[in-house]
Amino acid sequence: MPEKEIPFGDLKRRYRAIKENIDAALFRVLDSGWYILGKELEFFEQQFANYVGARHAIGVGSGTEALHLALVAAGVGPGDEVITVANTAVPTLSAISFAQARPVFVDIDVDSYCMDPAKIEAVIRPETKAIIPVHLYGHACDMPDIMDIADAHGLKVIEDCAQAHGSKISDTMVGTFGQYGCFSFYPSKNLGAFGDAGMIVTNDAAEADKLIKLRNYGQSKRYYHDCLGYNSRLDEIQAALLSAQLTCLPQWTKRRQDIAQLYYKNIKNKQFYLPRVSDGVEHVYHLFVVRHRQRDDVRAFLAEHGIGSQIHYPVPCHLQQAYEFLGVQEGALPLTEACAATVLSLPNYPELTDEEVLYVCDVLNNF
């Protein structure tokens, strides 16, 4: 038997730590008898907009739907192209597909794992309508450079902030650089719901009104439909549970950063490539991702010692069977593919103890 058992993630620990507040929020909604588009959502939308520093926040059904509705609001549709990365979760691509547009990939910066702005202009064509930079693992993309390129070519920018709640560039939160910022509240995110939920933030009042209609069948008021819309609403229970946790997010972020520092200081094995942080970026460490040429052997070694790990992501999007129709061949995105073969995510959540983190470091040092 392993000396310890350290799961990669443990949502039970989070619930137990804030059980009183979560239970109170849940039963408050149940007692209200109002479960869709009510006061809980209105409060959380304003609370989250204030947190991010945006004028408007629109709650939707998931992070994927946040991206999808933002694309629709931006006017992206059949025949259009959207520039993004293949080093992301497939839902980024799903949203583009739902909008009936075509994803176009650029390679990444190998240190940040995010979109390399220097690669963007080479793939811009008349069909290009938008860019989706993905703030991966909690590290912000180079948004100043990306925005300069987008503005020069008249392109909309839709930020995928699913893994980057609270990440900043020079004190400006991700999600507020582009026309739209899209967040996921999947349970394991830095701010996670107890089910699926998402949010779009924007500083444009007209875009906010459009998104409010799109999430609710295109209605401007009940039974009056101004446009084709969808059923994508963040419900009252999830809004209340997220609101109860948002006040904890700065503390949780600080703990993730402290755990990351323990990893940096105590992983002495030089075979591991540790994350790097770009100048001016505040990394929120949704994931602490190392690289190793024998990644699969490392993962097996950790498992033997009771330590959970994950791979984000083993197959990049351009090599997924679902996206074979794009015709992007292996070798087209060499840095993305190199990362897919070597990355490994270590346990990193606020409820981990220092002792557990140091045990992970000790096992890695003995590999």
Q: What is the pLDDT of residues 181-215, one digit of tens each?
A: 999 999 999 999 999 999 999 999 999 999 999 99
- CA–CA distance, 329 with 337 (Å, rounded to integer): 11
pLDDT > 70: percent of the chain: 100
* Confidence at 351, pLDDT banded by 50, 70, 90: very high
* Confidence at 308, pLDDT banded by 50, 70, 90: very high
Neighbouring C-beta atoms of residue 238, cutoff 10 Å: 23
- CA–CA distance, 335 with 194 (Å, rounded to integer): 35
- The predicted model scores a pTM of 0.98
Burial of 271 (0-12, 13-18, 19+ CB in 10 A): middle
Residue 114, both tokens? 């995010």
Pick the closest to residue 316 from 134, 184, 82, 163 (CA basis): 134
Residue-level pLDDT at 316: 98
Residue-level pLDDT at 2: 79
- CA–CA distance, 130 with 81 (Å, rounded to integer): 7
Residues 6+ away with beta carbon under 8 Å from 95:
64, 65, 67, 68, 71, 132
- CA–CA distance, 69 with 233 (Å, rounded to integer): 11
* Confidence at 18, pLDDT banded by 50, 70, 90: very high
- In this prediction, residues 306-321 reach a mean pLDDT of 98
- In this prediction, residues 329-334 reach a mean pLDDT of 98
pLDDT digits (tens, 9 = 90+) for 73-127: 999 999 999 999 999 999 999 999 999 999 999 999 999 999 999 999 999 999 9
- CA–CA distance, 94 with 64 (Å, rounded to integer): 7
Residue 135 Cα to chain centre, angstroms? 7
Omega before residue 51 within 30° of 0, cis = no
Mean pLDDT, all residues of the chain: 98
Residue-level pLDDT at 266: 99
Domains and CATH numbers, the chain: 13-106+114-246 (3.40.640.10), 248-365 (3.90.1150.10)
pLDDT of 168 strictly over 80: yes
Phi, psi dihedral angles at 343 (to 5 degrees)? -75, 150
Residue-level pLDDT at 174: 99
pLDDT of 3 strictly over 90: no
Residue-level pLDDT at 276: 97
- CA–CA distance, 155 with 145 (Å, rounded to integer): 13
Angle formed by the axes of helices 249-266 and 354-365, to 10°? 30
Residue-level pLDDT at 229: 97
Phi, psi dihedral angles at 85 (to 5 degrees)? -115, 160
Q: What is the 3-state secondary structure (H, E, C) of the chain?
A: CCCCCECCCCHHHHHHHCHHHHHHHHHHHHHHCCCCCCHHHHHHHHHHHHHHCCCEEEEECCHHHHHHHHHHHCCCCCCCEEEEECCCCHHHHHHHHHCCCEEEEECECCCCCCECHHHCHHHCCCCEEEECCECHHHCCCCHHHHHHHHHHHCCEEEEECCCCCCCEECCEECCCCCCEEEEECCCCCCCCCCCCCEEEEECCHHHHHHHHHHCECCEEECCEECCCCCECCCCHHHHHHHHHHHCCHHHHHHHHHHHHHHHHHHCCCCCCECCCCCCCEECCCCCEEEECCCHHHHHHHHHHCCECCECCCCCCHHHCHHHHHHCCCCCCCHHHHHHHCCEEEECCCCCCCHHHHHHHHHHHHCC
Pick the closest to residue 326 from 86, 62, 18, 15 (CA basis): 86
